[in-house]
A and B are shown apart, each in its own frame.
Chain A
Amino acid sequence: MSDVYVAEGGFITHDCTSIPRKPRHTTNKGESMITLRRTTARRRWSGVLALATLLSTVFTVAQAQDVLRVATRLDIANVDLHLTTNFDDRLPLLAVYEFLIGIDANGVPAPVLAEDWVWADDGLALTINLRQGVMFHNGNEMTSADVVYSLERVRNEGPRSSEFNQVTEIVAVDDYTVEIRLSEPTAALLGALANPIAPAVMVPEGEAERQGGTISRPIGTGPFQFDEWLPDQYLRVTKFEDYAVDDRPTSGFAGRREALVDVVEFRPVTESTVRAAALENGEVHIASALSFPDFSRLEGHADVIVEMIPSATFGDVRFGFRQGAFADDVLLRRAVIMATNKDEIVEALTWGQGQVAHSGIPFFSPFAVGIHEVPETYDLEAARELVAQSNYDGQEILISYTPGIWREMAVIMQSHLADIGINTRIDSLEPGSSLQKWQTGAFDVFVTGLSLRPDPMNYYMPFWHSESTTTGYSNAEYDRLNEEALGETDMDRRIALYQAIEELRRDDAPWYPLVHTTETVGYSRAIEGFEPWSAGYLNVWNVSVP
């Protein structure tokens, strides 16, 4: 499954007690009724309780103290991370595999297995020094040969191979030095190495071939090693005793990541309510992706902390340029953007816990300055005027979406468009069909979302450059600016270029961002060291179960 399904991440963390609560609908009368009901219930249940005690003694399973149990939304489908873009695959497995250069807590590339890196003066080579003494789970030390092998595999076979288009050669200079040579300068190379989607993680040289072409038993350098995977039951990883601890400060995938428990067990539990229930009765220590009703039920719970934080993921609306009323009508596209009340979406979709997305890159990106921080105009009157000037003649517009939270956005969008006299119908599709629609560009307008990517290029370019877009969008100036920004290695000039790109996006309006969703996670008060992360990944490292 693709990355666009996933709601993840958040930045500002607060303890649940400090989160402003919605008024509860309890009156004095209501409370007394609940008490009354509870008393009668207690009498009725006393027999059940006796039975319960009896049965629980029969069924009690001994559980070791040093096992960290995590309830995830979906099971993994593929352990060969080089080849899978599925978020649910990498969520647990990024504790097993490690990046050369990975994203830190703010989504910026930082050294992980790399000691440091140096750019050549002409920008045509990146020299990466490796950390020494890093061991693979098979007992061998990681050297430059393994790095070259892993990077070549990602570059040649991975779904993101196009991000490495400028790479001409990857060379092992000595055992602990690797040089990546480029045909032209590109600032996005570090981002390509750190992109967690189908990640460039390090595996031993020749490992895939040894395992018959694809990797079925993961071998990495991470703090945990793969132990056992029973589909739809659990994925179990155990502490890797020979792990080479990085002494730099912990940040995202970078820095100190230590295994403080012996075993981590990831249990796929599809229903949010059931994940919450498992957290509540102590079966799991961490429950990811909780729904709002479960979040509010667990708020203030004696044994559980729940946090809801703005996510790195934001929803966006993409116009179709192969069909439909928007294809040749910039006025109509601008009208739609102007009629979108993003504050209302934050309120309706994330109960006010999310955040309005003003620009095409996340609010915390180092590039998100200047125009990126300026809200897009919301003005119904002006929007109606634009519709009147446009070629729109009342035809029905189909709103397609990626299933999940984006469906609700599509529904809200429908009401916004009704406000300016645009007729719409929601195009209900299941995941596979929806992805097919996106991939073939057969839509009028598409509501979906983007999870965290390490470089602004990842947000602006692949989906909208005329050579790679599936939407049919083609704008020579947009292409030119993106190519220039990709080749620019000076940070200040790059920031200026991405301001120009954002300006053009607002003017020509091929797509527009909506809101950052929320990352909602619950965890037991009994564990120490767990911290929700905007990127949506769960740090099972540095967590102990005292």
Chain B
Amino acid sequence: MITVIARRVLTLVPVLIAISFVSFLLLALIPGDPAVVMLGADAPPQALERLRAQLGLDRPFLERFGWWLWSAVRGDLGTSLYQQRSVAVMVMERLPVTLLVCVLATIISVVVGVSLGVIAAIQRNRLTDHVVRVLSLVGLSMPDFWFGLILILTFSIRFPIFPITGFVPLDRDFFASLQFFVLPSLALGLTLAGFLTRLTRASMLEVLSADYVRTARSKGLRARTVVLRHALGTALLPLVTVIGLNFGRLLGGAIVIETVFSLPGVGRLIVLAINQRDFPVVQASVLYVAVIFTIVNLLTDLSYVVLDPRVRYS
């Protein structure tokens, strides 16, 4: 088991280098020059030249990537072109915000999605099933940023429960900070829940018609025991992969939702950095997000061992 994990972690290295290279390449390929963005349309050419040289932008692409990689290996991700601060610090300040939104949204999507899916499966083709189907389709087809705005209009204006500006940092006052996470997590979580509902229902129906479930029923076990103890565990297995993959989608979706809710997360940092052509910040943010996503994938794979006794890694 340990060797499996070690091997998987090692394979992350080339993956991360490849991701860094691609994002570096993309930034080099798109037009737009940090010096121009920093100095603006009025800037004279001499000032631009001076700044370019100062930022090292006049050197060839591979040389720049080489330097970046070599520094990154030594743990130095560079400083922001704009703010003259360590990008590692800038990203780490914001990462908890993005992660918390994603984790809360995952929890919400799983709790809501699985419960509705199970209920729909049990009540198959009855009114409840139809209602759940409509709800999940609404969730599936609703853009999260739009739903976010609806939540703001409802729970910040119509019923002023949650504030929408004036974010309190997590490390200053955790509970005061939490209130800023409720609506964004709901916006992301509930839109994702629709998908999980559909999936749980399908998976559950399949399991409920399996032989061992019939056996359990014929033993005279209570319906609830059959569903929760015998069927649910098996039905959830295919969901684990989806939840892991969803996390990646959430990291992407966080960019939009952070903008709508003015949350100081990594997503907003990336968007701003791309607009400003602040290369070191983009590189570091992409790297951190890639690390998180690959770790979540690894955990997803490993969780099978725990959840399904038939799966063995060797």
B262 touches A231 (CB 8 A): no
Q: In the complex, how many angstroms separate the beta carbon of B265 from the nearest chain A beta carbon?
A: 8
Q: In the complex, how many angstroms separate the beta carbon of A513 from the nearest chain B beta carbon?
A: 16
Q: In the complex, how many angstroms separate the beta carbon of A234 from the nearest chain B beta carbon?
A: 7
B153 touches A277 (CB 8 A): yes
Question: Is B109 at the interface (CB under 8 A from chain A)?
Answer: no
Pairs across A and B, CB under 8 Å, 22 listed? A3-B41, A49-B159, A56-B160, A69-B166, A71-B165, A78-B82, A85-B42, A159-B39, A159-B47, A161-B44, A230-B264, A231-B264, A269-B262, A270-B268, A271-B262, A430-B275, A432-B31, A433-B30, A435-B36, A435-B41, A438-B41, A439-B41
Give the contact stretch, choosing among A108-116, A280-288, A503-511: A280-288
Q: Which of B44, B84, B94, B268 contacts A214 (CB 8 A)?
A: B84
Q: What CA separation (Å) do A197 and B42 show in the bound complex?
A: 9
- Chain A residue at minimum C-beta to C-beta distance from B85: A216
Q: In the complex, how many angstroms separate the beta carbon of B15 from the nearest chain A beta carbon?
A: 28
Q: In the complex, how many angstroms separate the beta carbon of A425 from the nearest chain B beta carbon?
A: 17
CB contacts (< 8 Å) of A48 on chain B: these are 159
- Chain B residue at minimum C-beta to C-beta distance from A265: B166
CB contacts (< 8 Å) of B168 on chain A: these are 61
CB contacts (< 8 Å) of B263 on chain A: these are 232
Q: Which of B83, B157, B259 contacts A277 (CB 8 A)?
A: B157
Q: In the complex, how many angstroms separate the beta carbon of B152 from the nearest chain A beta carbon?
A: 5
- Chain B residue at minimum C-beta to C-beta distance from A283: B165
**Most chain B CB atoms below 10 A, which of A71, A86, A271:** A271
CB contacts (< 8 Å) of B262 on chain A: these are 232, 267-271, 274
Q: Please, what's the 1-or-0 string for B28-46, where 1 marks a CB less than 8 Å from any CB in chain A?
A: 0011110011111111100
Q: What CA separation (Å) do A1 and B30 show in the bound complex?
A: 17
- 20 new A-B contacts at CB < 8 Å, known A2-B36, A77-B83, A430-B275: A3-B40, A52-B159, A55-B162, A61-B168, A75-B272, A85-B42, A86-B40, A216-B84, A232-B264, A232-B269, A267-B165, A269-B164, A274-B152, A274-B261, A278-B156, A281-B156, A432-B31, A432-B36, A432-B37, A437-B31
- Across chains A and B, which 5 residue pairs bring their CB atoms closest together, nearest first? A432-B32, A85-B40, A2-B40, A232-B264, A433-B31
Q: What CA separation (Å) do A269 and B82 show in the bound complex?
A: 20
Q: What CA separation (Å) do A122 and B152 show in the bound complex?
A: 63
Could you tell me which residues of chain A, from 423 to 479, have a CB within 8 Å of some CB in chain B? 429-433, 435-439, 448, 462, 468
A2 touches B37 (CB 8 A): yes
Question: Is B167 at the interface (CB under 8 A from chain A)?
Answer: yes
Could you tell me which residues of chain A, from 174 to 210, have a CB within 8 Å of some CB in chain B? 197-198
CB contacts (< 8 Å) of B164 on chain A: these are 269, 274, 277-278, 281, 283
**Most chain B CB atoms below 10 A, which of A52, A432, A433:** A432
Could you tell me which residues of chain B, from 161 to 192, have a CB within 8 Å of some CB in chain A? 161-169, 176, 179
CB contacts (< 8 Å) of A45 on chain B: these are 158-159
Q: In the complex, how many angstroms separate the beta carbon of A306 from the nearest chain B beta carbon?
A: 15
**Interface residues contributed by chain B, number (CB under 8 Å):** 54
Chain A interface size, as a band, is 35 or more
B152 touches A435 (CB 8 A): no
Question: Is B285 at the interface (CB under 8 A from chain A)?
Answer: no
- Chain B residue at minimum C-beta to C-beta distance from A61: B176
Question: Is A84 at the interface (CB under 8 A from chain B)?
Answer: yes
Question: Is B277 at the interface (CB under 8 A from chain A)?
Answer: yes
Q: Which of B83, B84, B277 contacts A432 (CB 8 A)?
A: B277
**Most chain A CB atoms below 10 A, which of B32, B90, B165:** B165
Q: What CA separation (Å) do A78 and B152 show in the bound complex?
A: 30
A232-B264, A277-B152, A277-B156 as given contacts; A270 in contact with B259, CB under 8 Å: yes
**Most chain A CB atoms below 10 A, which of B36, B82, B155, B169:** B36
A436 touches B39 (CB 8 A): no
A231 touches B90 (CB 8 A): yes
Question: Is B88 at the interface (CB under 8 A from chain A)?
Answer: no
CB contacts (< 8 Å) of B149 on chain A: these are 271, 273-274
**Most chain A CB atoms below 10 A, which of B41, B162, B275:** B41
CB contacts (< 8 Å) of B37 on chain A: these are 1-2, 431-432, 435
Question: Is B260 at the interface (CB under 8 A from chain A)?
Answer: yes
CB contacts (< 8 Å) of A230 on chain B: these are 169, 264
Question: Is A410 at the interface (CB under 8 A from chain B)?
Answer: no
Q: In the complex, how many angstroms separate the beta carbon of A482 from the nearest chain B beta carbon?
A: 16
B42 touches A3 (CB 8 A): yes
A433-B31, A437-B31 as given contacts; A159 in contact with B161, CB under 8 Å: no
Question: Is A4 at the interface (CB under 8 A from chain B)?
Answer: yes
CB contacts (< 8 Å) of B83 on chain A: these are 77-78, 231
Could you tell me which residues of chain A, from 12 to 56, have a CB within 8 Å of some CB in chain B? 45, 48-49, 51-52, 55-56
Question: Is A162 at the interface (CB under 8 A from chain B)?
Answer: yes
Could you tell me which residues of chain A, from 70 to 98, have a CB within 8 Å of some CB in chain B? 71, 75, 77-78, 84-86
Q: What CA separation (Å) do A464 and B43 show in the bound complex?
A: 14
Question: Is B106 at the interface (CB under 8 A from chain A)?
Answer: no
CB contacts (< 8 Å) of B39 on chain A: these are 2, 85, 159
- Chain B residue at minimum C-beta to C-beta distance from A280: B157
Q: In the complex, how many angstroms separate the beta carbon of A275 from the nearest chain B beta carbon?
A: 8
B160 touches A77 (CB 8 A): no
Question: Is A342 at the interface (CB under 8 A from chain B)?
Answer: no
B33 touches A267 (CB 8 A): no
Question: Is A160 at the interface (CB under 8 A from chain B)?
Answer: yes
Question: Is B283 at the interface (CB under 8 A from chain A)?
Answer: no
Question: Is B197 at the interface (CB under 8 A from chain A)?
Answer: no
Q: What CA separation (Å) do A161 and B45 show in the bound complex?
A: 11
Q: In the complex, how many angstroms separate the beta carbon of A218 from the nearest chain B beta carbon?
A: 14
Q: What CA separation (Å) do A9 and B199 show in the bound complex?
A: 53
Q: What CA separation (Å) do A160 and B153 show in the bound complex?
A: 44
A435 touches B32 (CB 8 A): yes
Question: Is A296 at the interface (CB under 8 A from chain B)?
Answer: no
Q: What CA separation (Å) do A198 and B39 show in the bound complex?
A: 9
Q: In the complex, how many angstroms separate the beta carbon of B173 from the nearest chain A beta carbon?
A: 9
Q: In the complex, how many angstroms separate the beta carbon of A304 from the nearest chain B beta carbon?
A: 11
